[in-house]
Amino acid sequence: MADALYIGRLAPSPTGRYHLGNLSTALLAQLRALRSGGRLIYRLEDLDGPREAAGSAASIADDLRWLGIHWSEGPDRGGPHGPYIQSERLDRYAAAVAQLEGSGHLYRCTCSRKEIAEVLSAPHGSFPASLLYPGTCRARTEAGDEEPHALRFRAGGLVVVEDALAAPLVVDTAADPGDAIVRRRDGCFAYHLAVVVDDLAMGVSEVVRGRDLLSSTALHMQLAAALGQPYPATCHVPMIVDAISARLAKRDGALGRPELEAAGYTPALLRGAFACIWGFADRLDALSVEELAALWRDEPLRADALNLHPAMSRGPEALRLALSAR
Ligand code: GLU
Ligand code: ZN
């Protein structure tokens, strides 16, 4: 019997240009879909208005197309699961919040300190202990509608996250991330809520994303269960780190398409360079997306992080030389 159709997704936040690490994750999502005979949905995660960088939504879509990534549904193409822009899906999040509230999974929190910082720190990086919400409002019943309040999810309990690549992880959601905010006091829906609502509503069968979000998956599984639906499979891919082992971040002006193109990379050569970074190949060749998909190996992708070769930024010739010398 054929497998149910594989549906993956690309879920960029328009907070800046995509760098090599983002491109790596997106390309791996494409390979996963291709290898399973499935397809990708493109969803723009633009709920964090203040962090939005002008023009980045367009540049991300352009850069992904340039790299050979293809989606069958998205803001540019439409499709049966639209709209594909989170800020146009607020009614869905409101309905999910109403459902969770009705089933007793949420409570009102009137605490003012730290909560904004907590939501803004999502989705990347684990929560510093100092930001773990102490549960002050958990047992309160008197918070009225008129009082400004955030809505928190009653987390807690052990969840086992079984991932396609990462080792099984046991998470106590009481400690990580704790009672997460699903709707901020200013009415904005939080990443954790929106991402789960959308992955369920869009019929996503596997979530491919960076290893930095692995522990969030436990909360996402609990949210899905509270909404009465099974959570998709997950595939958390390694982070790309530079020579000093720092995670690449948009704000560091890390390598992006303009720098890579200027250094001489065509899309085919960049795909070949990814094959080297991921441990699929030990020499640099120009590769089509299909050729790259055929080289897939799980083993090197089980690492939490993969090193960016220092010669990478100097262009394909420098990378080729450095690879042949080792
Ligand atoms: N929008 C998130 C980001 O750009 C992705 C979240 C996810 O893949 O679950 O980092
Ligand atoms: Zn509170």
Please report the pLDDT score of residue 1 as a whole number.
44
Ligand 1: residue of 44, 45, 231 to mutate (most ligand atoms within 8 A of CB) is 45
Structure confidence by residue, pLDDT tens digits, 124-175: 655 454 568 888 888 876 656 678 899 999 999 999 999 999 999 999 999 9
pLDDT(122) > 70: no
| Nearest of 202, 195, 201 to residue 221 by alpha carbon | 195
For residue 250, what pLDDT band results from cuts at 50, 70 and 90?
low
- Please give the CATH number for the structural domain made up of 89-237: 3.40.50.620
As a whole number, the mean pLDDT across the chain is 91
SS3 assignment, position 73: strand
Portion of the chain with pLDDT greater than 70, in percent: 88
d(CA 162, CA 168) in angstroms, rounded, equals: 5
Residue 2's pLDDT is 46
CA dihedral 169, 170, 176, 178 (to 10 degrees): 140
Band (pLDDT 50/70/90 cuts) for residue 6 is very high
pLDDT of 220 reads: 98
Stretch(es) of the chain classified as CATH 3.40.50.620 = 7-84+238-324, 89-237
Tens of pLDDT, residues 82-117: 999 999 999 999 999 999 999 999 999 998 766 546
Query: Which of 297, 273, 294, 277 is CA-nearest to residue 285?
Result: 273
Closest CA relative to residue 65, chosen from 94, 30, 35 = 30
* Best probe residue, ligand 1, of 209, 214, 236 (max atoms within 8 Å of C-beta): 209
Strands, E assignment, the chain: 7-10, 39-42, 106-109, 150-153, 158-161, 169-172, 181-183, 206-210, 233-237, 239-241, 305-307
What is the CA angle 132-151-16, rounded to 5? 70
d(CA 194, CA 213): 15
Structural tokens at position 53 = 């960088």
For residue 127, the tally of other CB atoms under 10 A from its CB is 19
Residues with CB under 6 A from ligand 1: 11-13, 45, 123, 195, 209, 213
pLDDT in tens, 39-87: 999 999 999 888 888 899 999 999 999 999 999 999 999 999 999 999 9
Could you tell me which CATH class the domain 7-84+238-324 is placed in? alpha beta
